[in-house]
Structure formats: structure tokens, C-alpha cells
Amino acid sequence: MDFTGLFEEVSETLKALAEAEEVGKIIVYTPPEKRQELETCGYIEEGTIKGYYAGKDCYIFSIYPENSRGISFYKEKENQIIESCLKKDRKIGKTRQKDRGFRKKESWKKQKEKKRLSEEYTLRPAVQADATAMAVLYREGFQMYPAPLHMENYLLKTMDSNVLYLLIEKHGKIVSIASAEMDPKTGSAEITDCLTVPSERGKGLIKELIAALEKELSARNFLSSYTLCRASSSGINIAFASLGYTYTGRLVKNCRIESGFEDMNIWCRMLSEEKLTEE
């Protein structure tokens, strides 16, 4: 994710390591000026993260020492999800343009009010005292996850450093959580760890949390926000699409979630654009 020097030299080490450790996939994050070096070494570009390096785009390249790891099982279903997200996005885009054109400020106000949570829900930042309940929720929500969210200690440690967790409570019980993993050096943040309990799904909770995280990131002068989300989950893709994120690629069999490796879609948004839109 942060290599220096010529990639050709790094590539030889990676190759040897992959063979020794039976690694199935090698993933490299790189700035635009290094793309050619990656291509020369046989790596394939899978996607981009806009504004990842202090406003400069990041290119994600991969190579699959284990061939089967590079073959997606659910490509068609995942393409359909993206297609329906993009259709929805075009519709929203038209509505936004129309509103801007006629300067219908009221309609924006109404939209904001419509999005607001009903009184039984409370949205707030997570505090250390929430860690036990959060760990239980994550344990119930994900059989397997790339980060140990089911461990209270991990939550406490990350909460204390670079991760902002926001949650929604209903009658004092946590029903939805999401986080932003912030990199203050680059000004980019990954929105991740999204979960809503089954009984509260489809009520717009995760969208509220993502929007609130973005607002906080903007206030902290972060430049860009992105997510790597499960390509086979309609809800999470629809949420990012309808919040104005751009789809910028798919990472095949990238993360171990639930029962095995899953494809992850990349969605990005420049937060400075959001500030301009609000003005």
C-alpha cells in the first residue's frame, strides 16, 4: 500500500513470498505515475480510489498467483446490482439538476427533513462503554470479517486512534453501526464496518450513518471518502450510490467475509465537492 522505489524490485520479493506462503492474491495500491511499472510486471488494474493520496487518485492493481482466486463466482448478479444502482443514480442526478435549475430551495429542505430519523432513534458517536455491545452485534452480524470487530479490545483500540464509529440506538439498544477509518496524512477516509440488525433493515439507517460520517469528515477537512463494499449486497451498494458516490471498480475475491472470499466494489466521493454543492 505504500511502497517506494522501483516496483520491479519489489515485485521479485513479492513473487518469492507468495510462492513460499501460498498467497492467492497480491494487491498493490499505487499513484498514477507508477501504473506503467505495475503493468510491466503483469499486474492488472482492478479499480481506483479518487483523491486517496491527498487529492491524487490511487490505482489498485492485482495479480493472482493462484489462478482460481482471480475468477469471480457471482459476476452476473454483481453486475446487475451495479446496473440498478447506476439507473437509480441517473434518476437522482436528474432530480438534483432540476432542483438546481429552478432554485427550488424548499425541495432540498423537504428532502433533508424526509431523511431525518424518527424520534425513537438516536444517532451518536460510539464511546468506550459501547464496545461490549458493539462486539456482540458484530459477532452476530458477521461470521467472519477482515478485521476482528467481534473483539472488544480491538474496538477500544481503534476508537482511541484513527477510527470514528457512529451508531444508531432505538430505545437504548444499538441497531445500526458504521465507521470511518481516517488517514490524516492523506486526507482520505474509508467508510466501513456497516451493519444494521435484521429487524431494522430497509429503514434508511445505514444511509443516515454514512451521511453523518461524511459530515464529520468534511468538518475535519478530509478531502475524500470511499468504501470497499460487498459486491453481492444490494443494500450497501444502493446506499452509497444514492448518496452520490461513484462506482470505480471491483476487487475480485478480495476479502474474507462470512463463508469465504468475496468480491468488493469500490465507491468514492470527493468531500470538497459536497461542500461546494451545499454552498
Ligand X SMILES: CC(C)(COP(=O)(O)OP(=O)(O)OC[C@H]1O[C@@H](n2cnc3c(N)ncnc32)[C@H](O)[C@@H]1OP(=O)(O)O)[C@@H](O)C(=O)NCCC(=O)NCCS
Q: Which residues bind ligand X (CB under 6 A)?
A: 141, 176, 194-196, 201-207, 229-230, 233-236, 238-239, 242
CB of 89 to ligand X, least distance (A): 10
Residue pair 204/171 in contact (Cβ under 8 Å)? The answer is no
Smallest gap from residue 17 Cβ to ligand X (A): 28
**Cβ atoms within 10 Å of 264's Cβ, excluding its own:** 22
Least gap, CB of 207 to ligand X (angstroms): 4
| Cβ neighbours, 10 Å, residue 95 | 12
Question: Which residue, judged by CB position, is nearest to ligand X in the bound state?
Answer: 235
CA distances from 94 to 15, 17, 100, 109, 244 (A): 48, 50, 10, 17, 12
Q: Which is nearer to ligand X, 242 or 246 (CB)?
A: 242
Q: Which is nearer to ligand X, 3 or 261 (CB)?
A: 261
- Please identify, using beta-carbon distances, which residue of 156 and 197 lies nearer to ligand X: 197
- Closest separation in Å from C-beta 265 to ligand X: 9
CB of 279 to ligand X, least distance (A): 24
Q: Give 65 or 235: the residue with its C-beta nearer to ligand X.
A: 235
Residue showing cell 474496538:
155
Bridge partners, residue 192, by sequence: 179
The residue whose grid cell reads 505504500 is: 2
CB nearer to ligand X: pick between 28 and 195: 195
Q: Give 63's strand partners.
A: 26
Q: Which residues contact 133 (CB under 8 A, 6 or more apart)?
A: 173, 174
